Chains A and B, each alone.
Chain A
Amino acid sequence: MVRKRLGSWDVLVIVVLAVVVVVSSAAVEGFASSRFWGFLLLDVIPIALIALPMTLVIITGEIDLSVASVLGLSSAVMGQLWTAGVPLPLILPLILVFGMVLGAVNGLFVTGFGLPSLAVTIGTLALYRGLAYVVLGDKAVADFPPTWTGNMIEALPGTTVPWMAATVAGLAIVFGIVLHATPVGRALYAMGNNEQAATFSGISVARTKFWLFVLTATVAALAGFFWTMRYASARADNGAGLELSVVAAVLLGGVSIFGGRGSLLGVIAGVLLLITLRNALQLADVPADTLTIVTGTLLIISVVGPNSAAMLRSRLRRRRPATTPAAGG
């Protein structure tokens, strides 16, 4: 019941997204073109990809701020492996395993030593980015074969939808099913709502969180592979600052920063809203600084909005204690 009520925020985000799309189609020249959406989806991919596991992490009441640095470090390592002559089909699995290791470090500090994930992942944010510079310095590795770099941004036949975007959509469905229709998903909400109660009801909180951090970093490493291929450039500073976009999108999608609440549909809508708004404003020649202000304001609204809405609701509920569940709810 609680979740149903809170579901209204993700509905709101979807409505806002629809309004942005409709208004922009009418007001911004070029917005309605298929090319715009092709470009937009390419921008969406890395953020949406990392937002999927990030949603699960935040729902359990934790956070992982090291994702963009994992992306950068993976990219740097990729560059070194490629320079050393390792073929790309082998680099991909190696990078994923590497991501797992980076995530395991996060997970170990958070669950093994019981440290707050905010502190741990701010630490690894700096650490992994620093290591990326150690690995690759300020140079770029860019001699990847065009077949791979071109293929990564290729659209599905007859469309402008990049196949990677379709893959991310598929992954989103898998994450959605896991989160909303399996015992694992319910356990994640339980952990976020009340960790002690979750522990007493037999959920292995530490182990679940550990694997969530592993999963998040693995996905971030995959995003690093995509990023490197898309921009045809392995660099230590790849994706710098991306963690903020990811967290902003997740929170904008209605996931509570305190854990226990949120839906994957809301997050996908949040990612699309953030990127659509940014690209539409960009297309309308709004300067970059104004864009940053818009993004920042959205983030504030997304944190303040659901919380004040929830507060308002609970106050209303207290005033009408005898409320019965609405008939059609």
Chain B
Amino acid sequence: MRGMRTPRMRLGASVVALSALMLSATACASDDGDTPAAGGDASAGASGQIKEGLSVAFLPKQVNNPYFTVSDNGGKAAVEEFKGEYKEVGPSEASASSQVSYINTLTQQGSDVIAISANDPNAICGAVNQARQGGAKVVTFDSDTNKDCRDLFINQVTAEGIAENQVKLISDQIGGEGKIAILSATANATNQNAWIELMKAELKKPEYSKIELVTTVYGNDEDQKSFQETQGLLSSYPDLKGIISPTTVGVAAAARYLSGSQYKGKVALTGLGTPNQMREFVKDGTVKNFALWSPADLGYLAAYAGAALASGMITGKEGEKFTAGKLGEYTIGADGVVVLGPPTVFDAANIDQFDF
């Protein structure tokens, strides 16, 4: 008897509970007390001044990732300058959709500016659009979404900027003459391949006519593989003069190989690396210089761009100008892209000023 009754009672209870839940949700829908737009609306007129008290949230691809910690701290410095409220939120793993619930949370909290580095250009689009409907200005940095989903994209560097910079650095180091090779990440990495193509185009310029690019090898962004590929390069091309490795893993592994080999100081190496990874190799003379954008400046610029949008100083149209504190004036390019600038070159003279 009881055995029969209990499950049915429980089922009844579950129906009640479910309908209660749905009722409460519907009841909530009728009150419109949600999301105070917190005065973040851009309609206040173009005053030319950043408003005080803007709430600026940084949403990196992943929290506790050193790169994003540095860029977010750059953003924090900017927010403090214009007297806003800064915060950093984000998922602990950089998966495609994990950022969505954080965007939703920021929407509910009525953030004025959301600076986000997108794990997936499409997955966050819907959530970002809801945030914008809720009054937030959305600025992407480092990794963009579809251009329709955000107000501005702060691009760390252009592909052309990287290609020019890397070829110039290696050319200066080898005296404008000799064989060079490229140590890349994976063979199908979109970024890397675009950069390599542009480097090849750059090398066709007359001033680089005596430089010959002999091969491109792939270290798959694995330390071990990159190390072995460097070793392989030098045995296949004993007269190699220089290596460009436009990936942080590759350039660090190549530097480690060179510093422990007979080629130290004889084969030039440059690339895109972080100062912390490269410091010892710059100091021991293996590497003369290398480049990367400054993640801190990237976050700093993103914060200023977002604040300028939220204060109604700019709307995100091509050609508009705004001032980003110590970095100076920036102009919005096509498709709402703002370029941070040419990469920063790190060498023995300045490397100790950077910690990332």
Contacts and interface: CB of A to CB of B under 8 A. Distances in A.
Contact of A231 (B10, B96, B109): B96
A265 B13 contact: yes
B120 A32 contact: no
A289 B64 contact: yes
Contact of A161 (B22, B30, B92, B108): B22
Contact of B25 (A7, A29, A41): A41
Contacts of A7: 6, 10
A34 B105 contact: no
Given A159-B25, A173-B14, A325-B2, A231 B35 contact: no
Contacts of A4: 2, 6
A282 interface: yes
B102 A282 contact: yes
Contacts of A263: 7, 10, 14
A140 interface: yes
Contacts of A158: 26, 29
Contacts of B8: 180-181
A221 interface: no
B122 A237 contact: no
B5 to A, nearest CB: 9
Contacts of A29: 109
B21 A177 contact: no
A201 interface: no
Interface residues of A, number: 66
B11 A140 contact: no
A322 interface: no
A279 B105 contact: yes
Interface string A306-329: 000000000000000000010001
Contacts of A241: 93, 95
A118 B315 CA distance: 55
B109 A30 contact: yes
A156 B125 CA distance: 22
B122 A34 contact: no
A59 to B, nearest CB: 13
Interface string B36-57: 0000000000000000000000
B224 to A, nearest CB: 21
B159 interface: no
Chain B: interface residue count, which band?
35 or more
B90 interface: yes
Contact of B101 (A14, A43, A172, A173): A43
A75 B163 CA distance: 36
Nearest to A239: B97
Given A33-B108, A283-B105, A289-B63, A232 B11 contact: no
A292 interface: yes
A177 B8 CA distance: 8
A36 interface: yes
A160 B33 CA distance: 14
Interface of B: 2-3, 6-8, 10-11, 13-15, 17-18, 21-22, 24-26, 28-31, 33-35, 63-64, 87, 89-93, 95-97, 100-102, 104-105, 107-110, 120-126, 146, 188
Given A4-B2, A173-B18, 12 more contacts: A3-B6, A14-B17, A30-B35, A30-B110, A34-B29, A142-B146, A161-B26, A227-B97, A231-B97, A237-B95, A241-B93, A283-B108
24 contacts: A1-B2, A1-B3, A7-B6, A30-B110, A33-B33, A39-B104, A39-B108, A142-B121, A159-B25, A159-B26, A160-B26, A173-B15, A177-B11, A180-B8, A180-B10, A227-B97, A240-B95, A263-B14, A282-B89, A282-B101, A285-B87, A287-B89, A288-B91, A325-B2
Interface of A: 1, 3-4, 7, 10, 14, 29-30, 32-39, 41, 43, 137, 140, 142, 149-150, 153, 155-156, 158-161, 166, 169, 172-173, 176-177, 180-181, 185, 227, 230-233, 235, 237-238, 240-241, 263-265, 268-269, 272, 279, 282-283, 285, 287-289, 291-292, 325, 329
For the complex of A and B, 9 pairs with smallest distance between CB atoms: A33-B34, A34-B28, A142-B122, A180-B7, A265-B14, A231-B123, A288-B92, A233-B123, A39-B104
